[in-house]
């Protein structure tokens, strides 16, 4: 199936999930993440501020802060569809940017790529080899080209599809946790 059609179909399926079921599955994925060696050894965690129907990340951010991990969230850069990560602390001001995404302000400390020890990579569709279809901007594929830290994605079973077509620029994550 074509990438855009697969993305739209999967996003519609996610949006149709019962909110309570969605929250419960997001919570289970967070708990699975907390049990990984990658999470346990991470000092700097890169994670998005999820928007429904994405898998929730609030619990991940809270646990990171409770565990004295530094949290970094992405800031998108246009033109060029690039991104960088900035430190995110409780109470920090966020700015609503393109696509109604909340991102850090320019006052937030920039986190160099080589300091991120774990990157939670979002996506819409995944296969068992770690390849993914994202939201269509290519931001993470560009960022991952020379990223040396650990990469994990979180997915509901509804997001796993082995028919995903892999393109030359696609970079897989090391691990996909699924519930």
Known binding-site residues for ATP equal 3-7, 132-140
Q: List the one residue out of 133, 123, 131, 134 whose CA is nearest residue 156.
A: 123
End-to-end distance of the chain based on CA atoms, in angstroms?
23
Phi, psi (deg, nearest 5) at residue 60: -65, -45
Annotated binding residues for substrate, written as ranges, equal 49, 54
Beta strands in the chain (DSSP E): 44-46, 70-77, 82-87, 94-96, 102-104, 110-111, 118-120, 125-126, 132-133, 150-155, 175-178
Q: Which residues are annotated as a binding site?
A: 3-7, 49, 54, 132-140
Query: Nearest 5 degrees, angle CA 99-CA 105-CA 106?
Result: 120
Angle (nearest 5°) at CA 18 between 15 and 23: 90
């Amino acid at each position: 199936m074509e990438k855009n059609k697969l993305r739209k179909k999967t996003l519609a399926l996610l949006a149709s999930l019962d909110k309570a079921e969605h929250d419960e599955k997001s919570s289970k994925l967070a708990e699975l993440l907390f049990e990984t060696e990658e999470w346990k050894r991470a000092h700097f965690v890169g994670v998005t501020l999820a928007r429904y129907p994405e898998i929730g990340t609030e619990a991940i951010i809270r646990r990171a802060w409770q565990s004295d991990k530094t949290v970094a969230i992405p800031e998108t850069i246009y033109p060029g569809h690039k991104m960088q990560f900035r430190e995110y602390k409780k109470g920090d001001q966020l700015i609503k940017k393109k696509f109604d995404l909340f991102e850090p302000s320019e006052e937030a400390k920039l986190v160099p790529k080589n300091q991120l020890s774990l990157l939670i990579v979002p996506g819409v569709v995944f296969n068992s080899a770690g390849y993914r279809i994202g939201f269509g901007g290519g931001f993470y594929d560009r960022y991952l080209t020379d990223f040396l830290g650990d990469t994990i994605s979180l997915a509901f079973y509804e997001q796993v599809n082995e028919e995903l077509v892999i393109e030359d620029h696609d970079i897989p994550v090391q691990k996909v946790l699924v519930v």
